[in-house]
Amino acid sequence: MGHPHQRILKPTRMKKSTETPKRTRRDFLETSVKVAGTGALLSALPISMSAYAGAAGEIKVAVVGCGGRGTGAAMQAIEADPDVRLVAMAEVFGDRLEQSYKNLMERYQGKNKVLVTNATKFVGFDAYKKAIDMADVVILTTPPGFRPLHFEYAVQQGKHVFMEKPVATDVVGIKRVLEAGKMARQKKLNVVVGLQRHYQKNYRKVEQLIKEGKVGDLVSGQVYWNSAGVWVRPRKEAQTELEYQMLNWYYFTWICGDHILEQHIHNIDVANWFLGANPVSAQGMGGRETRKGKDHGHIFDHHFVEFVYPQGQVISSQCRHQRGCMNRVEEVFQGTKGNILVNSGNRALVKGYGGSDILDYKGENDINPYQQEHNELFAAIKAGEHRLDNTEYGANSTMTAILGRMATYSGQQITWDEAMATNLKLVPDDLSSFNSKAPIQPDANGNYPVAIPGKTRFS
């Protein structure tokens, strides 16, 4: 095997989650037709499910979690099919719901797309049930700690689902999602998980080359999400502890999962996808060096993990939230015949070891994968077909990131089976109002307990 080369591309600027491409109705129709032709048909829906639509052929959509991504995904659902109507919204913070509603109305005023009224704006911890009950398709875009609860309920109610990644923050949540996924399969409900690289053309091209054996067997890889970090929502006066944690959710592991889960899952997921397996074990290191202080909760600001896969392949995974450092968000793999570089900026570079370009793809006009997810989802629903079943890989990629976090928090080597056997549970069952007890409490100085490798147990 020749010496694997890695060409370093400029750091990727991540698209904002609310970014929706400007597309005409004609673009939409063309894309839908193409998508309908390429989607893998799992099976036709039974008659009862193919009657997806409400009155007058409308496809009713509800959004649960009306922040940046929920608002963006609602727009993408609307853009995906002319019959989509947003009928209900659910939130725990009324002002966030109103802001999202305002953004949607600014875009769709007078277009008969957003049919949400005061009576179908639901606020509170059980708001999700009321919104889900009204819809044919639900968009689940709260922070990930609540995803298992919401997904389970949506499937029980027989709804098609778009849910954001990660799909849980703990092992108990993963098991719940996998079980609900089985039920969704039996009910032939389409489920899309927001790991949008699976819907991005350059990634699909690379997947095809791997399947065709053009790069041989993948033996190693490096996956990166090194960036400056994200927003902080400082504590406000008169907030309860739970209210504070749910607003500033990024910094609390029970609701966010830590950034190895919340962002780096995208890159870890590509490793699982391209290697066609989940890792058998992980070991790594991490901590918080630059991002400290009360408003940064207790998550780490860097993790480095080695994931070992079933054939002995090793994937090195890095994620960092530190300002002023080199940023890099992409995935690199070495195969026995060539190597791969791919990133969310539509880039794919695949080189044979003889120096030849197997693929040099820039995808300048490619459709936004956030839109593509919804185009494929609504095309499947409209066709009355069960084509999309992303739950298992969504859960496995989430679990892979949880395994990595367990390794960095504890400083131990952990196998997949050991991690699954822990039944780690971080999200309490009894959260019913902002007066419920938050699962983690600050000390007298307002600081939260941070994991200490070598001392913190992974279970």
Ligand X SMILES: NC(=O)c1ccc[n+]([C@@H]2O[C@H](COP(=O)([O-])OP(=O)(O)OC[C@H]3O[C@@H](n4cnc5c(N)ncnc54)[C@H](O)[C@@H]3O)[C@@H](O)[C@H]2O)c1
Tell me if 409 contacts ligand X by CB under 6 A. no
**At its nearest, how many Å lie between ligand X and the CB of residue 158?**
20
Number of residues that bind ligand X (CB under 6 A): 27
CA distance 27 to 427: 42
Closer residue to ligand X (CB): 146 or 252: 146
* Contact (Cβ atoms closer than 8 angstroms) between residue 409 and residue 401: no
Q: Which stretch binds ligand X (CB under 6 A): 137-145, 237-245, 301-309, 451-459?
A: 137-145
* Contact (Cβ atoms closer than 8 angstroms) between residue 164 and residue 144: yes
**At its nearest, how many Å lie between ligand X and the CB of residue 69?**
3
Tell me if 67 contacts ligand X by CB under 6 A. yes
Query: Which tokens hold the place of 73?
Result: 């995904």
Closer residue to ligand X (CB): 70 or 297: 70
**At its nearest, how many Å lie between ligand X and the CB of residue 62?**
11
Number of H helices, E strands in the chain: 15, 17
Closer residue to ligand X (CB): 52 or 101: 101
Could you give phi then psi for residue 80, rounded to 5 degrees? -75, -30
Site string for ligand X, 274-293 (x = CB under 6 A): --------------------
Decide: helix, strand or coil at residue 207: helix
Tell me if 219 contacts ligand X by CB under 6 A. no
CA distance 207 to 200: 11
Strands 137-140 and 59-64, sheet pairing: parallel
One of 2, 9, 17, 436 touching ligand X (CB under 6 A): 17
Q: Which residue's entry shows tokens 């499947």?
A: 380
Q: Which residue's entry shows tokens 């990727």?
A: 12
Tell me if 108 contacts ligand X by CB under 6 A. no
Query: Which tokens hold the place of 394?
Result: 């969504």
Tell me if 143 contacts ligand X by CB under 6 A. yes
Tell me if 330 contacts ligand X by CB under 6 A. no
Tell me if 159 contacts ligand X by CB under 6 A. no
Cβ-proximal residue to ligand X, closest one: 67
Tell me if 257 contacts ligand X by CB under 6 A. no
**At its nearest, how many Å lie between ligand X and the CB of residue 94?**
10
CA distance 313 to 310: 7
Tell me if 144 contacts ligand X by CB under 6 A. yes
Tell me if 439 contacts ligand X by CB under 6 A. no
Q: Which residue's entry shows tokens 């999309």?
A: 388
Angstrom distances, CA of residue 301 to CA of 234, 298, 319, 336, 346: 18, 9, 8, 34, 27
User: Which residues sit at the interface with ligand X, rule CB under 6 A?
Assistant: 17, 64-70, 90-93, 96, 125, 127-128, 141-144, 146, 164-165, 194, 196, 246, 262
